[in-house]
Amino acid sequence: MLSTIARIEIPDMGSALNQAEGNVVAQFEVTNHYELPSRGAFVIGHIIQGSVRVGMLAATRLSPPTLTISGMEFLNAVSEHKFWNALIFSEQPNLDFLQRAFPIGCVRPLTYEHAS
């Protein structure tokens, strides 16, 4: 069973990555999607590079080309010793959109600015 640990804003530690790879500050690997009726849909996965902050943009495979991160939840299955991050978006996309925009297994760049 998944349980929410906390919602926090993670400080930016990705300035070297930002300088080295244009405006990409972090990368997020998608492992699942979920929707709570009272809270909306979100993308579940792992931060594989950099760090994530509220206000960053996640590149999608659809239009709109980016979604704005409004929060992040930490999820765990304590009995299995497994942990994940869930990205929440200010645009409040539905579950179907997130499944198409962020397929399971994809790695998506997170940025501070819109891609040119």
Q: What is the pLDDT of residues 8-46, one digit of tens each?
A: 343 343 333 333 345 789 999 999 999 998 889 999 999
Tens of pLDDT, residues 87-107? 999 999 999 999 999 999 999
* C-alpha dihedral (2, 28, 112, 11), degrees to nearest 10: 60
Pairwise CA distance, residues 11 & 83, whole Å: 19
Domains of the chain: 3-105 (2.40.30)
Quote the percentage of the chain above a pLDDT of 70. Answer: 78
Global pTM value: 0.75
pLDDT band, residue 114 (cuts 50/70/90): low
Condensed to tens digits (0 to 9), the pLDDT of residues 75-90 reads: 888 888 889 999 999 9
